[in-house]
Structure 1
């Protein structure tokens, strides 16, 4: 039995609305998000090494969370050096759907504005575990551990 024409046209209208939203929002550029960072600049870097695939999401409160692992198996949440931030296309948060972060170009930038890594890249970084008393960091909570990034060694 064929679908009623009204239902088909409603689906078509919804699809067109989403496509128009993407076309309208895409040229706007990127949105900057706050991420967990060190409280002040420092030349001290812990030298333990951590590697994995960078994952992340934007949050409705204007923050972003990065971690190593995937959505289902979240590993270490990452706290970045002082001055770091995140940027992404405004499409994902505008549609209210954080899984779109992978197509929104969510990436982390250093204090000079240089992109150091984007989600989906395999990264290696120097740093160390945050103290045991840390239960959450800006933009991230509910993780089994938190890693203080000292320096991104590679991102590919």
Structure 2
């Protein structure tokens, strides 16, 4: 570690300790709030802003643990992921898509004129699969996480 890097690291540690042990004693603080303090920014209200803050702090959020539950998607692309989604739709099987999947899908657009339904509860997806429904469905699982919003943007 260079002396400049050591000085910067020490300054960051002093700043964090000052906040944690200072007169306001706002402890405990979350890691995100500490990252915002370390960079002199406000803590973002939205998920995209928080991810950008983590990247600024040299922390790369994983792109595999958060998923979007889907059913019946038939993207027009010809990549293997698009073909796999069509295959799952043919067999009335749901699919969980990660942000990594969404980055690798070449063309997620559905065929022209396709109406995609959105639901909140995964049980609706199960019911659609059990009823061999042919209409595509995206489930928010209670709230539209960043992966769901990314999926919806890709589908429009």
TM-score range, shorter chain: under 0.3
Normalised to the residue count of structure 1, the TM-score between the two structures is: 0.23
More helix by share: 2
Higher fraction of strand = 1
Flag the structure with larger Rg: 2
Q: What is the TM-score when the length of structure 2 is the normalising length?
A: 0.23
